[in-house]
Structure 1
C-alpha cells in the first residue's frame, strides 16, 4: 500500500505510476513536489513512474530508502537509460538512507525506476520529484552545424543548456568584414569545450571552459577573422552539463589593404615617400600579406612598423631576406619599431606575417626612402616619416636644426620661426629689413615677416603684436600654406568636427592636395600646436604642388 503526501501542486510537471510490460505495479498519478511512499517486495521488486517534462531544465529526484540496498535510474521514451544508475545503500527501517539525484533534461517523457539491488533486499521508500526550468533562450534543435542557430554579433547574451540528452549546441555567425571576434561564456557546467569552425566545418580552434567549483566561471577568448561564415559549438558530455550564458561580440578593423595580397604575384604596390601610414590585418585565415616596394635608387629605406603580434620580413624578388622583426605587443597595444636598411636599386617585398599560431591582429606601416647622396645631416631624432621632409628643408637652406645633432621634430615651433621657414621656402624677397609694425618681432625676422605681410600670407594678431613667441597652431599653418601656394579645396567634403568656418577653406585645400590627413578620422587638430617635424612635412608636401 502507498501513502501519498501532497506538498506543492503544479501544472508544469506530472508524475504517474504506470504499468509497463517490463515494469512492476503502477496505478497512482501525482503532481510535482509530491511525496509518494512505496515498497519493494519479492513479488513486486520494481516501481516505475512516468515524468512529463514540458521544458528544458533540471529534474531533482529525492529518495529515502528504508532498507539495505536499492537502485534508482531514469530512462527516456525509447527506454534508454539517462546517465548512470544510482545505488542507495545501508538504509534501515528506523533510519533511511537519502539520495538526491539531479538530471539535466530536454522536454519529453521519462521513466523513474526504483528497484531492489539483488533480489534479496526489500522494504519501503519515499520518493519526491521537483523541477527547475533552465530558462534557456537557444532555439532547438541546434545539435549540429546543419541545425546551427543563427545569431547576431554584438547582440544580447544567449542562455544555453547542456543536458543529458543534448550535449552539443551550435551557433552560426556571418561576418561581413574582417575583424576581431570576442567570446565570453559564463558557465555553471563542471567543464566543457568551446569550438569554432569555418564555413566548411573545419575546426579553427577549441578550448576547455575550465573546471567549475561552485564559483562563477567566466571564460573569455578572441580570434581574428576575415569576412565569412563561422560556427561556434558549446559541448559537454555525461558529466559536464548545465546552464551557460554566451556573449558574442565583434570589432571591425577598417584597414586600407587591398585583398588578396598573400603572395608576390598579388602584392599591394606601395609608393615610397607617400607620407601615409597604411593599416593592415592578419587573421586565422589570412596569415601573410605582401607589399611591393620599388627602390628607385641605391639608398636607404626606413620602415615604421607597429603591431600587436605580427612579425615581418623584408625580402627581394629572389626571397633573399634583408631584415626581420617580431613584435612583442598585445591586444590593443601596438609596439612600434623604426628600422633603417641600406638597399640597392630594385624591387623588394615587405611581408607582415603572424607571429604565433593563432595571433595576427592589427598592424600599421609607413615607408620612406632617400638616396645615399641625401644623407646630409646627422640629426639623431630624425627617422622614418620625417627624413625626406627634413632633408628637403636642409637642402633648400630653410633650416639647419636646433643643433648639429638635434632637429627637434617633436618640439613646438614659434610663429616667428614658422614665418622665417615659410619665407625661405617660398624664396620671398626678404631684403626689406626695416622694423615691422609688430613690436614683438625680433630683428632677425623683420625681413621674413615684412615679406609675408606684403604677400598677404601672414598678418599679426593685432596691429602691434605678431604673436612672435606664441606657438603656431595647425589651423594657422593651414591658412598660411593655402595663401602661400594659392591652393583650392573645391569639391572636398570636410570630415573634421573641430574646424571652424575661419579655417574651413584652408583645411579643405590641404586635404585636396594630400598635405595632411588630420589627427584622426574626425579631428584636424585645429588648435593644437604644430611641431617642427609636422611643419617640415607640411612645407615639403606643399612645395610639391608647384
Structure 2
C-alpha cells in the first residue's frame, strides 16, 4: 500500500493538478512579451505556454525574483498530460536565464513550482534565437558532408544544440579541423566517431567514440589520425548543456576540413614495426601518430640511435621495449619498458645497452597527444642506427660476473645505462685504494663499494649497505676507502650521463687500478704520468735499461720500438719469413720478420732496417696506425708540421685519443720519439683496439 501511495505522489510531480485541471488556464506568452507571475502558496504552480518554430532556441528570462524564493522549472513538449518532459532543473534562486533548442515547431509548456515558498511577483520574458542554415544537422543521420578543403558555417545557439558533420578519410590520414571566427563567449566540445560505431545506436551517447575534447574556447586547430579508410562523424556541441548555461552563442563560426598523411605511416602498431638496420625515415603527422621500429641487437651491445631532420617545434617521446616481453604481453600498456625519454626536441642521439641478444622495439610519438596539439608535422624525420662494440669487460654487468681486479684493468661505460663490476681483495690494511686514469673528457660516473660477503649473502645490491659512494666523477682520481675488515669487496661503476648526451665518448676505454697492489716495476725514472704505460709494457714482456731504469726520457731505437710493438700486438714471430734485412741484431730478427710480414714496415731499403737509429714520432705514428688498424674521423688536423706521408697516420692517432701533439699546432713529426711517450702511445692504442 505504501508503495502505491509513493508512486501516486511521484506521478503528481509531473502531471498538472488543481488550477491546471483545465490545462487551457496556462498563460500564453508571445515572443518578446513579459508576463508578471507569482506564487500564492507553497503548493501553487504556474503554467506558461509558448509557441516555437522548428530549430529555434527557446529563451526564458526570469527577473526580479523574490530573494527567498527557491523554485523548480520544467519544460514539456506539447500536452503536459503526455508527461513528456524535455528538461527540468531544481533549486533555482534569484534571477535565471534559461535556453533550450526545440527540434520541431509547436506549443511548449513551462511549469514552475516553489521549492521554498516566498510571496511576491516576478517577471518572465520569452524570446527566441534564429536557426542558422545548418540547423537540421542536429542528428548524425542528417550530418553535413564536409569535403576536403571545404569550409562550413555553424552555430551553437542553445545549450542543447548539436551539429553533426561527416568526412571521408583514407587509411593513416590525419583529420584536421580548423575552427575560426569562434564567438568569445562560446564553449564547445568536439567528438569523433567511426561510422560503424553509430550504426544501430539510437543515442550517440551509447556509442563508443574515438576521441573527445571538452570545453574548447576560441579558435582551435584539431587533429586526429585514423587507422582505416572510411566515413567518420564529428559531433560539435556546447560545453555545458544545462539549459541555464551561458556557454552558447547565436553568432556563426567556421569549420574547415583538411587531411595530412606522412611517410611510413603504416607502422602505427608494434606488429607492423619497420625493421631498422641502419637508416629509416618516418613522419609524425598527427598528435596521436605513432611509429614503431624493430631492431636486432647482440648481447652487451649498446644501440646508438640518431634522430635527425626533426621539424622545428616538434616535441617527441622515445620508448624502448624488450621484444620478447612485448610480443608475449601483446600490448605495450601491459609490459614494462626498458627506458623512455619525454619531450625531446631537435636532433638527438640516444644510447642504450642491452644485456641479451634479441629483438627490441622502439616507439616514437609526439609528446603532446591531445587533439589540439601543434606538435606534429608532415616533414620527414630520419632515424639512424649504429651499435657500440663491447670491450673485453662488457660481460661484467652483474656482481656475479665481476672482473677480478689485479693491479689494473681496462673498462668503459659504453652507454648511459652501462655498469661495470670489479672485485678486489683487501689483505691486511683496512683500506681499499682505487684509482681511475685515462678518463675521457665528458664521461661522468659514480663509484659504489660493497662488502663481498654481504652482497653474496643477499644477492641484491639494493638490500646491502653501501660502504662507500661517490657521485659525478669526471676526471682522473684516486680514492682511499676505509673498510671494516680484510676480505673481498665489490666495486660498482655506473654512468651519471643521460641517455641523450651526445658528447660522451662512449667507445673510449679508460683504466681502473687497485692501488693496494705494489707497482709492477721498481724503475726510479718513471713519473706518475708514465706509470700505467710502463707497467703495461712490462706486462707485455718488455724491459727497461736495468732493474731501476726504464729510460723514460731517452730516444728509442728503431729495433727496440719494433720489438715492443710486436709484443704488444702479439704477432706470431715463429712462422714469419725472413725480412731480408742484413742489419738486424740476432735478438730482434724474429720480431722484425713478423713486423714486415704484417705490413707495418718495409725497412729503409730492401736490405736495411736501420736498426740502431732513433725513430721519429712520425715514423712511429705510421707503425702504430698500421699495427692497430686505427681509423681517422676525417676532422681537419690543427698541426702544421705533418707532411702528406704522415697525415693519415697522425689523423688516426688524434681521432682515437692516442696523442694531442707536442703543442696545439705541432705533432713533432720529425722529433725523435722518447721511450716513455712511446709506452703511452702503445697503452692508449691497445685500449682503443680493445674497444
The interval holding the TM-score normalised by the smaller chain is 0.5 to 0.7
In the TM superposition, residue 457 of structure 1 has moved relative to its aligned partner by 8.5
- State the partner residue of 1:393: 544
- Matches of 1:323 and 1:114, distance apart in 2: 62
User: How many equivalent residue pairs?
Assistant: 413
Q: Secondary structure at the match of 1:395?
A: coil
Structure 1-normalised TM-score? 0.54
Pick the aligned partner of 1:484 from 587, 595, 598.
587
**1:154 correspondence with 2:278:** yes
Residue 204 and residue 318 in structure 1: after superposition, are their counterparts in 2 closer, same or farther (change >3 A)? same
**1:83 correspondence with 2:229:** no
Q: Is the 8 A contact 2:398 2:421 kept in 1?
A: yes
**1:130 correspondence with 2:257:** yes
Pick the aligned partner of 1:224 from 349, 352, 359.
352
Q: Is the 8 A contact 1:137 1:159 kept in 2?
A: yes
Pick the aligned partner of 1:208 from 337, 342, 346.
342
- Matches of 1:521 and 1:302, distance apart in 2: 27
Pick the aligned partner of 1:105 from 208, 212, 225.
225
- State the partner residue of 1:176: 298
* Correspondence 1:530-541 to 2 at 5 A: 530-533=673-676
**1:356 correspondence with 2:480:** no
- State the partner residue of 1:6: none
Pick the aligned partner of 1:254 from 389, 397, 418.
389
Q: Is the 8 A contact 2:267 2:290 kept in 1?
A: no
- State the partner residue of 1:518: 624
In the TM superposition, residue 266 of structure 1 has moved relative to its aligned partner by 3.5
Residue 158 and residue 400 in structure 1: after superposition, are their counterparts in 2 closer, same or farther (change >3 A)? closer
- Matches of 1:350 and 1:504, distance apart in 2: 55
Larger CA Rg, structure 1 vs 2: 2
- Matches of 1:279 and 1:504, distance apart in 2: 42
* Correspondence 1:283-322 to 2 at 5 A: 283=415, 286-290=418-422, 304-307=437-440, 308-311=443-446
- State the partner residue of 2:511: 365
User: Deviation string for 1:225-266 (max 9, x for gaps)?
Assistant: 135443333354335464266544444333442564345654
In the TM superposition, residue 348 of structure 1 has moved relative to its aligned partner by 7.1
In the TM superposition, residue 100 of structure 1 has moved relative to its aligned partner by 5.3
- Matches of 1:51 and 1:378, distance apart in 2: 84
- State the partner residue of 1:429: none
In the TM superposition, residue 82 of structure 1 has moved relative to its aligned partner by 3.6
Q: Secondary structure at the match of 1:288?
A: strand
- Matches of 1:522 and 1:135, distance apart in 2: 43
- Matches of 2:213 and 2:399, distance apart in 1: 59
Cα RMSD for the two superposed structures: 5.9
Q: Is the 8 A contact 2:411 2:420 kept in 1?
A: no
Q: Is the 8 A contact 2:322 2:337 kept in 1?
A: yes
- Matches of 1:303 and 1:388, distance apart in 2: 15
Structure number with higher helix proportion: 2
Q: Which runs of 5+ in 1 are unaligned?
A: 2-16, 89-97, 211-216, 330-334, 402-406, 423-455, 460-479, 508-515, 540-546
In the TM superposition, residue 31 of structure 1 has moved relative to its aligned partner by 3.6
Q: Which runs of 5+ in 2 are unaligned?
A: 1-53, 55-133, 198-203, 326-334, 428-432, 456-465, 565-579, 610-621, 631-648, 654-668, 683-691
Residue 353 and residue 65 in structure 1: after superposition, are their counterparts in 2 closer, same or farther (change >3 A)? closer
- Matches of 1:517 and 1:396, distance apart in 2: 28
Residue 66 and residue 319 in structure 1: after superposition, are their counterparts in 2 closer, same or farther (change >3 A)? closer
Between 1:190-199 and 1:312-321, the stretch displaced more is 312-321
Structure 2-normalised TM-score? 0.45
- Matches of 1:294 and 1:255, distance apart in 2: 29
Residue 505 and residue 125 in structure 1: after superposition, are their counterparts in 2 closer, same or farther (change >3 A)? farther
Q: Is the 8 A contact 2:435 2:476 kept in 1?
A: no
